[in-house]
A and B are shown apart, each in its own frame.
Chain A
């Protein structure tokens, strides 16, 4: 097996409060390159919380998350931001695009934040990404001028902007109709099969999960099942 891109070691997240709430508990798992992973489970089971912890959006109460073998608990917020910028792309249930910017500008944002490419190259890459997802003709439009499926494709394009090896998707098809769901899922699958990315997606849709390489089932914040399916469609 390849070295893990993301690894959770004894990760627990407890929300402090009058009554502390345990979101995830004692999770150990490793995500390796080119995996297409489904995180499933009932509502409130801790799927999204696990995804945020793996994506360094949240800090575990105990345990550690390793990215490329590096511990992240001792990192500063800026270091974690840099890891997110370079190594992880996020896709959320709602597109979460910036409404005042064109979709090209939205896709360009992570590249501009990274600041490694000149302005023209950034725009060219953003347009190329949009074109590859069939949105070339819409590049000057703002998110509110697109359909839900189109917006989610823009969100995937933005997640890929800095060419990260891992895409973390939180119910990426949760708010889409069946046609758009098929399109977005197809794109995610192609990211793994054609572009060698690793995709970890939280989903309620067991039919989609059945088409993925690995299914991690979460119940009450714990990993109830972790199945690798060699014969999955992907």
Chain B
């Protein structure tokens, strides 16, 4: 074995109790870091996945990013006109089917038209404001997971009666409606409609399950009093992460507001980034605290070994050899601690993943965790770096010892 490694190994081996405490410190640090990273990133991935699954990857609406220019503004570009009455614009996307056909030629994914509307739901003496989404069940299945979220009925149940509606299960429970219950919908446009509940769905998002109802496109158009209106085209991209680029291109091509899921959830994603910063800060702090244990053991060894250091220096050991001995000791503690920390972290993660509980916002039965090699690599790197730094300072002090001072003192 290499001389430095031999001496370092002998030193740590002969201080088994202290070494084990230091190793336990690193192991705990690495273990908890791995567990925290697995938990934080697992919940983040699961959240994004649920978000991506539940919402359209891209939503093209009948709005534009810039305020609509008025005719007088367009004619008199240099003049500033006040008191003009804005031009009344007919809501909805122009020629939606042609646009869908055009987009389908290049957009890597599926598209479906829909009508977004608001309505007052009346049932059993209760009035609730809900979102009504008009869909085409045949194309909807390619764009959202609504079909897989059905609790009662199917998407095609919407064809069962003339004004059929699918309600979120929480909404149905809230008002006490069941399949085949007749409810009344009143839109802001003043139309009233009797609808039959033909099914319920459960997405796992409370806000959605409590306030949304799905109807056929045609039904939503009647509710909006606009025959043939489509005010949203939803896109499910083959690669969800490419949604932002596709949305930009769609916006440029159609002139309509095209929003990717990343843009729509920008605040949330920023919060996730902030959460990650917090996570890595906490993980760093844990490992930093663990490194104090390493510092302690290496400091103790160098203190106890001053005479040996003087002997080695008198024999002709160079400063860097002395320094290397104690740095290697710290790294030994760090490496063994990290290796045990992998096992500890894995077991902690498994334990955490097996815990059952519910959150008020979603229906997770188990805490989602992510098993990723990068967590182990990251925790190990940080642990070794901490150990290196923790070992360096006592090692440097050891290398600077003046052998004569020690030998004179000893004799």
Residues on A close to B: CB < 8 A? 48, 52, 55, 57-58, 77-78, 81-86, 88, 90, 92-94, 96-101, 105, 109-110, 112-115, 158, 162, 170-171
Contact status A77-B403, CB under 8 Å: no
Identify which of residues 1-57 in chain B touch chain A, using a CB-to-CB cut-off of 8 Å: 3, 6, 10-11, 14
Report the separation of the CA atoms of residues A155 and B337 in the bound assembly, to the nearest whole angstrom.
37
Residues on B close to A: CB < 8 A? 3, 6, 10-11, 14, 307-308, 311-321, 402-404, 407-408, 410-411
Residues of B close to A52: CB separation below 8 A: 404, 407
Please, could you name 22 A-B residue pairs with CB atoms under 8 Å apart, sorted by A? A52-B404, A55-B314, A57-B314, A57-B403, A57-B407, A58-B404, A81-B316, A81-B318, A81-B319, A83-B316, A84-B314, A88-B316, A94-B410, A98-B308, A105-B6, A109-B312, A110-B315, A112-B3, A113-B3, A113-B321, A114-B316, A162-B316
Residues of B close to A105: CB separation below 8 A: 6
Other than the given A93-B411, A96-B311, A100-B11, 20 more pairs (CB < 8 A) read: A48-B411, A52-B407, A57-B403, A57-B404, A81-B313, A81-B318, A82-B318, A88-B316, A90-B315, A92-B411, A96-B314, A96-B407, A98-B308, A98-B311, A105-B6, A112-B3, A113-B315, A158-B315, A170-B407, A170-B411
Report the separation of the CA atoms of residues A57 and B317 in the bound assembly, to the nearest whole angstrom.
12
Give, as a whole number of angstroms, the nearest-CB distance from B29 to chain A. Answer: 28
Partner of A77, one of B6, B312, B319: B319
Contact status A90-B314, CB under 8 Å: yes
Report the separation of the CA atoms of residues A125 and B321 in the bound assembly, to the nearest whole angstrom.
23
Residues of A close to B307: CB separation below 8 A: 96
Report the separation of the CA atoms of residues A84 and B317 in the bound assembly, to the nearest whole angstrom.
9
Contact status A113-B308, CB under 8 Å: no
Contact status B317-A113, CB under 8 Å: yes
Contact status A100-B14, CB under 8 Å: yes
Residues of B close to A78: CB separation below 8 A: 318-320
Partner of B316, one of A58, A93, A97, A110: A110
A155 (CB) vs chain B CBs: closest residue: B311
Residues of A close to B314: CB separation below 8 A: 55, 57, 84, 90, 96
B2 (CB) vs chain A CBs: closest residue: A112
Q: Using A57-B404, A112-B3, A113-B3 as known contacts, say yes or no to A94 and B316 having CB atoms under 8 A apart.
A: no
Give, as a whole number of angstroms, the nearest-CB distance from B13 to chain A. Answer: 8
Residues of A close to B408: CB separation below 8 A: 48
Residues of A close to B403: CB separation below 8 A: 57
Residues of A close to B411: CB separation below 8 A: 48, 92-94, 170-171
Residues of B close to A82: CB separation below 8 A: 316, 318
A171 (CB) vs chain B CBs: closest residue: B411
Residues of B close to A86: CB separation below 8 A: 316
B322 (CB) vs chain A CBs: closest residue: A81
Residues of B close to A112: CB separation below 8 A: 3, 6
Residues of B close to A99: CB separation below 8 A: 308
Residues of B close to A48: CB separation below 8 A: 408, 411
